[in-house]
Amino acid sequence: MSEKNKIAILTLYHNNYNYGGLLQSFALWKVLEGQGYDVRQVSYVLDSGYPRYSINLIQPVKEFAKSVLYGSYYTGVKKRRKAMNIFEAKIPHTDEVTAQNIQKLNGSFDTFVCGSDQIWNPIGWQNTLFLSFADPGKRKIAYAASMARESLTQEEATYAYKMTRDFYAISLREEKSLAAMQQYYPDFRADIMPDPTLLLEQNEWKALAALGETGDKGDYIFAYFLSTDNYNREMAIQYARERHQKIYFINYLDVANRQWEKSHKNVMCPKGIVEVPDFLALIQNASLVITDSFHGAVFSSIFHTPYVAMNRFKNSDKNSMNSRIDTLMATLNINRKIESLNATHDYSLSDEETRNIDAALRMQRKKGIDFLNRAITGDL
C-alpha cells in the first residue's frame, strides 16, 4: 500500500467515555479501512491541548478522594469506563500522544482527517483539533466536523475561519454551523456530510450489536438521555407505567446523575455494566427508544427501532445542540421530535418512514464515502 494511503484520524476518541463518540470513531475507521486505506485513530490526550495541562502527579490522590466521596457509585463508574477502554483499544490506533509531541505523527502519516462528533465545539476549541501540528504539504481534511452550535460569535467564527484556511477539504455535520460561519465569512465553504455512523450498513451494526446483550429479552422501552435535567426521564417513566411496559435506563459514565440513578434502581438496565455492543443491542431490541441523544436517534433509525427524540437543551440556550437532531430529521426525511409523551400513542414507525430512512441512508452513505475518497486522493 502506498505511503499516500496512510491516514490518521483525529477525533474525540482516546478515553472518550461516551457511546456515540466511540462508535463514530469506530465507524470512520471502519469505512476508510474498507476502502483500502491504512488507517489509525490518534490516541490524543485531549487535556494536553489546554493551557492548564501539566503532568498530573496527584491523580492517584484525586482518584482516592473520589472513591471516598462517591463510594460504591464511583467504583461502578470506573468499571464502566474500563469497559469503554476495552472497546477503544480494539480500534487500530497510534501510541498515546499529547499536544506537545503530536507533530511526530507527520513522519508516519501523509493525510490527517479530523472529525466527526463535537471536535469543533467552541466550548472545547484548541489548535490541535484543527490539525495545527500537520506539516506543510500534508493533506488536511475535516469530515463532518461538528461545532454543535446553532450560532457563533464574531470572535469564534474568526478563529475557525483562520484555523481552516489550509485545509484541502472541509465538511461539517450541521447546516446551521455552516450558516453561522457564513454570516461573518460569506466565502467560507464547506460541504454538509453525514455522521460517520451513517456510513456503515445496517448489517455491520447488527454484527456488532450481536456481541452485546440487554440482560432481559422481554419487551421493554429503552430511555437514553444525556441531559442531567430529569424532567424527560420522569415523563418517560410515566409513559411506560401507563403503557404497562418495562423501561430501562443506563448509568452515566461519570457521577453527574448519581442521585437520580440511586433513587431509581428499579428502572436501571439489569445488564449492569453496559458495554458498547450492549448499548447497540439495547437499541436494536427495544420496542421503543426515548432519547435526547443524536446517536440514540441515529442507531434507532438504522435498526428501524421506533423512537422519539426530545430536546436536550432549551432553545434559548446559546450552547444548544438541538440542531444536531434537527439536521438528522431533515436528512432522513422524517420527524420523530416531540415535546411531550402521549400514553395513547405507540410511536411505531410507519412503512413510509422506514422507506424514507432507508432511501436517505443509501444516499448519505454514497455521498459520505465519495467525499472521503475524493478528498483523500485529491480529486475535489
Which residue's entry shows cell 440542531? 323
Over residues 101-159, the pLDDT tens digits come to: 999 999 999 999 998 888 999 998 999 999 999 999 999 999 999 998 888 999 999 99
The CB-based long-range contact list for 341-344 (8 Å cut-off, 24+ gap) reads 341/235, 341/236, 341/238, 341/239, 341/290, 341/308, 342/239, 343/238, 343/239, 343/242, 343/243
pLDDT of residue 1: 37
Which residue's entry shows cell 488536511? 140
Element housing 224 (H / E):
strand 220-224
List, in sequence order, every residue forming a beta bridge with 10; answer none if it has no partner. Answer: 114
CA–CA distances in Å: residue 331 to residues 14, 146, 198, 323, 361: 29, 15, 11, 12, 9
For Cα atoms 227, 323, 332, give the angle at the middle one, nearest 5 degrees.
110
Lowest mean pLDDT among 213-222, 238-247, 284-293, 313-322: 313-322
Running DSSP on this structure, what letter comes out for residue 309? Answer: E
Residue 2's pLDDT band, with cuts at 50, 70 and 90, is: very low
Mean pLDDT in residue range 273-281: 96
Q: What are phi and psi for residue 5, nearest 5 degrees?
A: -95, 10
Instruction: Say whether pLDDT at 3 is over 50.
Output: no
Mean pLDDT in residue range 354-379: 97
Lowest mean pLDDT among 2-11, 53-62, 166-175: 53-62
Distance CA 336, CA 183 (A): 29
Mean pLDDT in residue range 175-184: 94
Instruction: Say whether pLDDT at 351 is over 80.
Output: yes
**116, 11 Cβ separation under 8 angstroms:** yes
Distance CA 33, CA 364 (A): 18
Q: Can you list the domains of the chain with their CATH numbers?
A: 3-199+363-377 (3.40.50), 205-349 (3.40.50.2000)
**141, 294 Cβ separation under 8 angstroms:** no
pLDDT of residue 35: 95
Strands 6-10 and 111-114: parallel
Over residues 236-258, the pLDDT tens digits come to: 999 999 999 999 999 999 999 99
What is the percent of the chain where pLDDT is above 90? 81
Lowest mean pLDDT among 294-308, 318-332, 345-359: 318-332
List of residues 6+ apart from 166 with CB closer than 8 A = 140
User: Model-level pTM?
Assistant: 0.93
Over residues 48-103, the pLDDT tens digits come to: 999 877 655 566 777 888 888 998 999 999 999 999 999 999 999 999 999 999 99
Mean pLDDT, the chain, rounded, equals 92
Q: What are phi and psi for residue 291, nearest 5 degrees?
A: -150, 160
